[in-house]
């Protein structure tokens, strides 16, 4: 028996189910290591965890925001905390002011709060980039019970460029083949791309990111035929054709506050919110991964953790590169 799209044999499916506990990948930067702050700031990770837990308990959407913040950081200039930097008055605009990040990105205050608490006991020691990686891990654990080891040792970048966002971040309207190419440029596989897309089982999106699927698909003034009709009707009730305000809707209508593999079942039912979501179930290049992830939630959780570790090592600054910021929103 083989799965649709990729011809994955049963034995391989069984192996994927068994691979639950995330392990360190050989491709993860050798400059990062577990327990990096064990001697220099042993309380660092626990401070981040407590800060994140309190924030998510008050607003579950912050957890989704922190995972997305880490992703947006890593895909532009690598995982160097550059997305956290504010634009300077009179200077070039920073990443966080780009329409892909503003006003949608959330979690900046959580990272800043954790940084202030750490600075009080371990000044000039823990990078903002590492704090963000820890926070994404903690959010995954809180919202999905997905725990994975995060090697540390990242340094903070000193450059943040508005103009580098568009060429690096995938837009919500890419095809599966375009997504595969985008992630490949960052050293991530098609399987890892589909796996990480599961983060869309939490969080919210603005109507402007998908309204063309409701009213003007491919310029035809028609509805995207891959979109479930009942789901489309629900979305239209929140997102009117005449625009105006730009409200938000849950990325995953089934389990909006739980990081799980229900997202993939929703894709198979035509309830993917963004073009980049639904294309995963429609394309022969990715459909097989969607089918496997929909069937095996435990295996997907393990893959998600490993993919997050791999993503968290993209183009990291280490050693004497960059700096350790005293405040995450500005260079020293």
User: Cα torsion at 134, 136, 137, 140 (round to 10°)?
Assistant: 160
- Helix (H) / strand (E) element for 11: namely helix 10-18
Closest CA to 232 of 220, 222, 242: 222
Q: What is residue 231's three-state secondary structure?
A: helix
331 burial (CB, 10 Å; 0-12 / 13-18 / 19+) is: middle
CA distance 110 to 118: 12
**Which residue's entry shows tokens 């959780």?**
301
Q: Which residues are annotated as a binding site for Ca(2+)?
A: 73, 76, 78, 80, 82, 95, 252, 255, 260
Does residue 98 carry a catalytic annotation? no
List, as one string, the DSSP characters of 89-105.
Answer: TTSPPPGGGSTTTTTT-
Beta bridge pairs of residue 60 = none
CA distance 185 to 90: 33
Q: What is residue 261's three-state secondary structure?
A: coil
Q: Which residues are annotated as a binding site for heme b?
A: 200
Tell me whether the omega of the peptide bond preceding residue 105 falls within 30 degrees of 0, making it cis: no
Q: Which residues are annotated as a binding site for substrate?
A: 170
**Which residue's entry shows tokens 């035509």?**
270
CA distance 19 to 15: 6
Q: Which residues are annotated as a binding site?
A: 73, 76, 78, 80, 82, 95, 170, 200, 252, 255, 260
Residues 6, 70, 72, 98: which is the catalytic one?
72
Secondary-structure percent of the chain, ordered helix, strand, coil, rounded to 5? 50, 5, 45
**Which residue's entry shows tokens 């022969």?**
284
- For residue 319, give every residue at least 6 positions away whose Cβ sits within 8 Å of its Cβ, in sequence order, or none: 31, 155
Q: Are 125 and 40 in contact (CB under 8 A)?
A: yes
Residue positions annotated with a catalytic role: 72
């Amino acid at each position: 028996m083989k799965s649709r799209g990729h011809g994955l044999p049963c034995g391989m499916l069984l192996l994927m189910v068994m691979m639950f506990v995330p392990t360190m990948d050989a491709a993860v930067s050798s400059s990062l290591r577990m327990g990096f702050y064990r001697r220099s700031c042993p309380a660092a990770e626990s401070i981040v965890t407590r800060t994140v837990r309190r924030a998510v308990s008050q607003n579950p959407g912050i957890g989704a925001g922190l995972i997305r913040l880490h992703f947006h950081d890593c895909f532009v200039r690598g995982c160097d905390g550059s997305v956290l930097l504010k634009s300077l008055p009179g200077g070039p605009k920073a990443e966080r002011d780009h329409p892909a990040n503003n006003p949608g990105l959330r979690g900046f205050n959580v990272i800043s709060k954790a940084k202030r608490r750490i600075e009080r006991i371990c000044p000039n020691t823990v990078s903002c980039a590492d704090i963000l990686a820890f926070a994404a891990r903690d959010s995954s654990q809180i919202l999905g019970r997905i725990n994975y080891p995060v090697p540390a040792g990242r340094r903070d970048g000193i450059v943040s460029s508005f103009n580098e966002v568009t060429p690096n971040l995938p837009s919500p309207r890419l095809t599966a083949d375009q997504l595969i190419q985008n992630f490949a440029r960052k050293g991530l596989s098609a399987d890892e791309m589909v796996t990480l897309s599961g983060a869309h089982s939490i969080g919210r999106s603005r109507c402007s990111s998908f309204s063309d699927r409701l009213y003007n698909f491919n310029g035809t003034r028609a509805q995207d035929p891959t979109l479930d009709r009942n789901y489309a009707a629900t979305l239209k009730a929140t997102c009117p054709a005449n625009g105006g305000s730009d409200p938000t809707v849950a990325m995953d209508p089934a389990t909006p506050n739980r990081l799980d593999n229900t997202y993939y079942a929703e894709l198979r039912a035509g309830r993917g919110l963004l073009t980049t979501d639904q294309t995963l179930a429609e394309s022969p290049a990715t459909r097989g991964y969607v089918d496997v992830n929909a069937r095996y939630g435990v295996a997907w959780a393990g893959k998600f953790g490993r993919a997050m570790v791999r993503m968290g090592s993209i183009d990291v600054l280490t050693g004497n590169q960059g700096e350790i910021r005293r405040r995450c929103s500005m260079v020293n």
